[in-house]
Amino acid sequence: MLVTLSAAVTADGYMDDNTPERLTISTPEDMAEVYRLRTGHDAILVGAETLRRDNPALLLRDPEARRRRAERGLRPDLTKVTVTASGKLDPSLRFFTEGDAEHYVFSTVRLPELDRVATVIRSDAPSARAIVTELEKRGIRRLFVEGGARILRLFLEEGMADTLRLAVNPAMTLGEGRGGAHFAFDAPGKPCIRSRFGGMEVSTWQLKPDTAADDLRFLRMAVDESRKCVPCATSYCVGAVVVTSDGSVFTGRTHETSATHHAEQEAVAKALAAGARLRGASIYSSMEPCSKRASEPESCTELILRHGFAHVAFALYEPDCFVACRGALTLRESGVDVRHCPELAGEVRAANAHLWR
């Protein structure tokens, strides 16, 4: 998933003041640009505190963009997402009542009063990593995060943001004692584009490299490997590719040399036999690496972590046919850069058609 963070602040770094009225920081030109950026995403996320304080509708305002979404069989508005620790969310908020969109609420408590208006996803402590993983499983590929400050920091601290757009209004200051939430950011060394919209000074940082081309290239190799598997009623047909820091490539597929080996094991074993250094390497698997196994003591997720892989990409989340897999989330929680590439998911399903029947 590609995650874009967006925020507007005063010259002294405040996102709002301490009065009950909504503070408008952006100029009309800057807001128009934010509305344009929304159209390139599948979902929009704000924290529950923002909903309670500002009561935004978060609609997709471009009629042409709404029409294009409808032609693709999607709802006209972006999927709306929020996160709450207290559970204090009124179903009459504009977030729920205005527009035509799906709604997801990540919550630490049960919220039966929202059952009619949203899908509530329970978690002991919602994290950015868990939010991204759950939304990916539901088909979200591009997420636009508009705050507040606590939510923005959550995604930044967990390394789950690809881009940050920070708009500063140099003509507005609040001063000590008047400001509410404060947000400041800088990333020396990261690519940054500076621009202006109606007097707003905008900085857009690219926080992560764009790996899409390499991910798809090597995942196609992994899918090709999966087609060489002999179908089995007790395992998926999976292909894997290991790419080391020096560019060496090793492939593997399910049961290639052993009736209990997964594709990732086979590729890693070939790399080790060749004396390759795996710390910092990348691994591409046609399916999400397993996190629990019955046939061997170590899962592929544990194998990847033990050898210090830095980057993992896969095409299809593992279905719950055999076990409930949490490989992607476990890897993310351990600091691995994980990319989901659903463009090839259909081909992975086709390679495993014997199980879907």
Q: What is the pTM of this model?
A: 0.94
- Residue 324 has what pLDDT? 79
- Residue 177 has what pLDDT? 75
The type of residue at 182 is H
Q: Which CATH class is domain 212-356?
A: alpha beta
What are the angstrom distances between the C-alpha of 227 and each of 221, 268, 331, 347? 10, 19, 26, 9
- Residue 239 has what pLDDT? 98
Distance CA 346, CA 339 (A): 17
For helices 128-137 and 149-157, what crossing angle results, to 10°? 90
**Confidence band, pLDDT 50/70/90 cuts, at residue 357:** low
Is residue 203 within 8 Å of residue 45, measured between CB atoms? no
What are the angstrom distances between the C-alpha of 48 and each of 83, 277, 343? 6, 45, 32
Q: What's the chain's average pLDDT?
A: 94
The ranges assigned to domains in the chain are 2-206, 212-356
What are the angstrom distances between the C-alpha of 62 and each of 40, 72, 98, 272? 11, 16, 15, 53
Query: Per-residue pLDDT for 356 more than 80?
Result: no
Structure tokens at 8: 């507007």
Q: What is the pLDDT of residues 96-141, one digit of tens each?
A: 999 999 999 999 999 999 999 999 999 888 899 999 999 999 999 9
| 252: helix, strand or coil | strand
What are the angstrom distances between the C-alpha of 244 and each of 257, 302, 308, 309? 22, 18, 11, 9
Average pLDDT (265-272) is 98
Query: Per-residue pLDDT for 70 more than 70?
Result: yes
Q: Which CATH class is domain 2-206?
A: alpha beta
